[in-house]
Structure 1
Amino acid sequence: MFVPQLDRNAREGLQKQIMRQIIAAIASGMLRPNTPLPGIREASVRWGVSRNTVVLVFEHLETEGYLQTRPSRGTFIHPTPPCSTSSVAQLGNERGAAAASLGEPSWPGQAFIGDPAQERQTPDGVFNLGFGSNMPLYRFPAWQKTIERLLLRDNWKRGGEFQPNAGLPFLRSTLARWLHLRHGVTIDPQQIIIVTGLQQAHSIIAHALLKTGDHVILEDPCYPGKRQLYEKLGMHVINGAIDRKGIKLADLAPEQARLLCVNPGCHIPTNVTLSLPRRKHIAALAMQDRCLVFEEAMYDLLSFEKKPIPSLLSLTGGRNLLHAGLFAPCLGGGLMLGYLVVPWSFLPAVLEAKLLTGNGLPWLEQEALARMLDSGELDNALRRTRVVMMRRREVFMAALERFFGRMEFCGTEHAPRLSWFLPGGFGKVQPFLTEAEKAGIRFPGNYAAASSRSHPGLPDLPNLVSHGYGEISEEDIPALFSRLSNHT
């Protein structure tokens, strides 16, 4: 039976000691999936700690996906717990073998087509600083209970029917109410189209509303797949430079462009938030019908800002504005569901283009997401995720400053992303990333370093390191930097 070995004189608190040892026991196989743990009272007595400490340990590890509470039965090791990379690395010499198996890292600009990182999974013992999360929605008890209810009753029969191409009506109506609460804008459910991701949303808009030779303004740098899409379809891409306040329109002529694409809440990869004056400028362009605007909302659901700046959807009321959101960055890449809000005048063409991309979406995920939204459980899951991510961000930033010294961060208001400038004494970004990957630390998709264009507003952009921290636990962060110090 598992009993943690506690050092009451250690600087590390009892709660963290217990969590670390449970994770290590899971990684080593000592605590196997579905193994029951003692109840709170029993654990308190056996482990020699307060009940409150046990409660906090269980809640934290359940949120992280290591434990699972089963009503009327107790607390168990999760059937599919996440891998604790630091614990696995301590069990043997996997680190060297895993690092050797990585091969040469891909050029950081290849975050889309031709990137080997898109095809390979992270080996055990390798730290992955990608933009996913080890707290995906499907690990939350509320999501699991919703799925069980749908499958155990006769609801599952609906899964055998073809679903509406624009998305499940229940999900679209629920999203309309949810968006109204978030943005203060009345949206008809028919204006909402369910998509499998922002890339599909861009593809639909490009095919429905643009033609060869049209000018499209994209933030520079931006997600490479988006740029490649418009260029492959024959559009002329105009680079919108980024500074500390977001995209700079002063040097552009947006009225001459057919489409302006922006991510106001969290520019990728700099994490810069678009300022309110610039949002008002873009909103005026849309409302005066001078330019069609595409607003992305990728990481807004996990914003750390106490009072977020109004979205373009809020400022325009949806006039001449396309608004797209995605749940995957916040709730796990496995939930590739997003939405696209379309003005009435563009709706027929967009629906036709959507029909050409596929004949519908899976019923189960749409129905479950709609029920989570409708019951408020999705917002509860987001709040819990936000608390964990805020704490993890603080630990990671503190570890960076202990390792590098004084740091310059770029946009720290959104999870699970972090961007910072590599200090001068550590050379250039690409060699640094290469050495880090040799040490078994992966920075996928750091494509800011690949940009050859000058950026007067952000002259240090070539030194930007952009990564996630959602796929590692707090307990792994010290081990990550210990490994980094031995290889750089």
Structure 2
Amino acid sequence: MKNIIFTFKDGSPKYKQIYEQFKLFIEQGDIRTDEQLPTIRQLAESLQVSRNTTLMAYDQLVAEGYIRGEGRKGYFVNELEPALFQQGTAPRNEQQTESTTPVLVNFRADAIDQAHFPLKAWRRIANRILTLQESFQYGDPFGEVCLREQLAAYLFQSRGVKANAEAIIIGSSTQQMLIHLGHILKEDFPSVIVEDPGYDGAREAFQFHRLHFETLPVYETGADFSQLGQMQSRLAYVTPSHQSPIGVSMSIQQRQMLVHWANEIQGYIIEDDYDSEFRYTQRPFPALASIDAQRVIYLGNFSKCFLPGIRLSYMVLPQPLLNRYKDRFRHFESTASLLNQLTMAKFMEEGEWSRHIKRMRLIYRRKMQHLAAGLKNEFKENISIIGEQSGLYLLVKVHMEHSEEWLIKQASSYGVKVCPTSLYVVNNYSVRPIIKLGFSSLSHEEIQLGVQLLKKAWS
């Protein structure tokens, strides 16, 4: 094969430049079909780069079909039609070039740890459930009694919520339950107080019913209740145990203030307790619904703490709303899988759920600490970390003269996917950009690599 001569340019990762140069050689026919490429070690030595750099370039070429790996023989060029690349080839714009960068580390916040998922226990129970007669029928429109009974016991033990199984409704997701709930609330409650910043999925559900918004500002120090008494809404949606996305927890004084407000105006609080299982410094805080079950609508789910694809959520309704809800939806089928409900009920009954939560709390705490320590070591005073006490993600406030868009784009160019927080904001924007880093699905090695790549990207 002809000698490969590279002149590296500043501003672009070296693996990306190697990948693009080989891609050009292949498309132009300079490297022919079935021709063998240099080994990873040979190429690394000739270009004076690390083996990991050349491996990343080859991996991308393999993924796109330009080359193939043949075991211990090495890498070879696949057959292409060079003329297709030579005719009408337009210069690639910046966006197209970026899309070819492989994602090496994805700090997504919507995934769980696959390596420690209790697959054997879940499969064993699920197989047994499929032998039961009730698995071959339509289920209860409000959720299977066996799961509602298990949830009632669990909520009392873990969250202090005294709930009768009849008051629990099972559904497929938090958004779906909010949309259903909106049908029985919108006539009496034309507006709702939402946290700012706050969960955008809840706002979308409220907008579905054309509810008007009033905003409750939330900062790193907590929510600002100073204007609560002047607001017109009698309905409030909050995430008190682990505010989404800021991560702060509502103090007992604020919880009592909010419950007092709801009683005084005869309103309701929708408490979204989406990931309260994972608190790393103290025991999970008692739920708002444990203070006043008559004025709090309690929401929970199995997506964050167990498996997103299971599509199981639940809510506990105060009696007046429960009667209206059942009257409205008694003729509708359940939106949650019958098989998953029955399996989860038995999973909880046999103690597998409690064992899983205890195990994952320890695993996620170690990942949280590893990520936080790595960020502090690499960035020092250039960042502030928000939300180390609980949850499955960290927020990073960046004290550099860069926008959120630039930080995300630059991270992507180095193969790191990070998440914005601006989408959670209504009006209460931060002076400095804040980036969201989920860690639950990553190994310690991936977390370390991701932090190192972010250091290079943002420097």
Same-fold call, TM cutoff 0.5:
yes
Does the aligned pair in 1 maintain the 2:301–2:312 contact within 8 Å? yes
The offset of 1:386, in angstroms, is 1.0
The amino acid of 2:202's aligned partner reads K
Match of 1:117 in 2: none
The amino acid of 1:93's aligned partner reads Y
Match of 2:411 in 1: 436
Does the aligned pair in 1 maintain the 2:103–2:417 contact within 8 Å? no
- Answering whether residue 367 of structure 2 is matched by residue 367 of structure 1, we say no
- Answering whether residue 114 of structure 2 is matched by residue 135 of structure 1, we say yes
Structure 1 residues 193-212: aligned runs within 5 Å: 193-211=169-187
Does the aligned pair in 1 maintain the 2:395–2:434 contact within 8 Å? yes
The offset of 1:186, in angstroms, is 2.7
Does the aligned pair in 2 maintain the 1:210–1:258 contact within 8 Å? no
Does the aligned pair in 1 maintain the 2:107–2:437 contact within 8 Å? no
Counterpart CA distance in 2 for 1:387 and 1:127 is 22
- Answering whether residue 126 of structure 2 is matched by residue 147 of structure 1, we say yes
Q: Which structure 2 residue ranges, 5 or more long, are not aligned? A: 1-50, 65-91
The amino acid of 2:168's aligned partner reads I
Match of 1:307 in 2: 283
- Answering whether residue 237 of structure 2 is matched by residue 267 of structure 1, we say no
Q: Secondary structure at the match of 2:256?
A: helix
Does the aligned pair in 2 maintain the 1:436–1:487 contact within 8 Å? yes
Does the aligned pair in 2 maintain the 1:330–1:416 contact within 8 Å? no
The structure-2 alpha-carbon separation of the partners of 1:387 and 1:138, relative to structure 1 and needing over 3 Å to count, comes to closer
Match of 1:9 in 2: none
Counterpart CA distance in 1 for 2:271 and 2:447 is 34
1:179 alignment partner, one of 152, 155, 162: 155
Counterpart CA distance in 2 for 1:167 and 1:418 is 34
Match of 1:463 in 2: 433
- Answering whether residue 428 of structure 2 is matched by residue 448 of structure 1, we say no
Does the aligned pair in 2 maintain the 1:214–1:235 contact within 8 Å? yes
The amino acid of 2:357's aligned partner reads L
Q: Secondary structure at the match of 1:405?
A: helix
Counterpart CA distance in 2 for 1:254 and 1:453 is 18
Measured against aligned partners, the alpha-carbon deviations of 1:11-50 in whole angstroms (never above 9, x if no partner) come to xxxxxxxxxxxxxxxxxxxxxxxxxxxxxxxxxxxxxxxx
Counterpart CA distance in 2 for 1:105 and 1:197 is 37
2:267 alignment partner, one of 267, 291, 300: 291
Measured against aligned partners, the alpha-carbon deviations of 1:267-303 in whole angstroms (never above 9, x if no partner) come to 1111111122111101222344532110010110111
Give me the identity figure in percent: 21
The offset of 1:137, in angstroms, is 7.7
Does the aligned pair in 1 maintain the 2:179–2:205 contact within 8 Å? yes
- Answering whether residue 59 of structure 2 is matched by residue 94 of structure 1, we say yes
Match of 1:248 in 2: 224
Match of 2:15 in 1: none
The structure-2 alpha-carbon separation of the partners of 1:450 and 1:222, relative to structure 1 and needing over 3 Å to count, comes to closer
User: 191-200 or 228-237, which moves further after superposition?
Assistant: 228-237
- Answering whether residue 325 of structure 2 is matched by residue 325 of structure 1, we say no
Counterpart CA distance in 2 for 1:142 and 1:87 is 38
Q: Secondary structure at the match of 1:237?
A: strand
Q: Secondary structure at the match of 1:295?
A: strand
The offset of 1:480, in angstroms, is 1.7
Counterpart CA distance in 2 for 1:239 and 1:375 is 43
Higher-Rg structure is 2
The offset of 1:464, in angstroms, is 1.4
The structure-2 alpha-carbon separation of the partners of 1:214 and 1:253, relative to structure 1 and needing over 3 Å to count, comes to farther
Counterpart CA distance in 2 for 1:105 and 1:266 is 38
Counterpart CA distance in 2 for 1:315 and 1:304 is 23
- Answering whether residue 447 of structure 2 is matched by residue 482 of structure 1, we say no
Measured against aligned partners, the alpha-carbon deviations of 1:407-454 in whole angstroms (never above 9, x if no partner) come to 4222212131111211225x222201111122221124x233674724
- Answering whether residue 234 of structure 2 is matched by residue 258 of structure 1, we say yes
The amino acid of 1:409's aligned partner reads I
The offset of 1:101, in angstroms, is 13
Match of 1:25 in 2: none
TM-score by length of 2: 0.74
Counterpart CA distance in 1 for 2:424 and 2:258 is 28
Q: Which structure 1 residue ranges, 5 or more long, are not aligned? A: 1-85, 107-119
Calculate the aligned-residue CA RMSD, in Å: 3.3
The offset of 1:238, in angstroms, is 0.6
Does the aligned pair in 1 maintain the 2:404–2:435 contact within 8 Å? yes
The structure-2 alpha-carbon separation of the partners of 1:380 and 1:139, relative to structure 1 and needing over 3 Å to count, comes to closer
The offset of 1:210, in angstroms, is 1.5
Q: Secondary structure at the match of 1:368?
A: helix
Match of 2:325 in 1: 350
The structure-2 alpha-carbon separation of the partners of 1:434 and 1:342, relative to structure 1 and needing over 3 Å to count, comes to same
Match of 1:221 in 2: 197
Q: Secondary structure at the match of 2:298?
A: strand
Match of 2:34 in 1: none
The amino acid of 2:245's aligned partner reads P
Does the aligned pair in 2 maintain the 1:286–1:293 contact within 8 Å? yes
Counterpart CA distance in 2 for 1:297 and 1:249 is 20
The structure-2 alpha-carbon separation of the partners of 1:338 and 1:466, relative to structure 1 and needing over 3 Å to count, comes to same
Match of 1:395 in 2: 370
User: 202-211 or 381-390, which moves further after superposition?
Assistant: 202-211
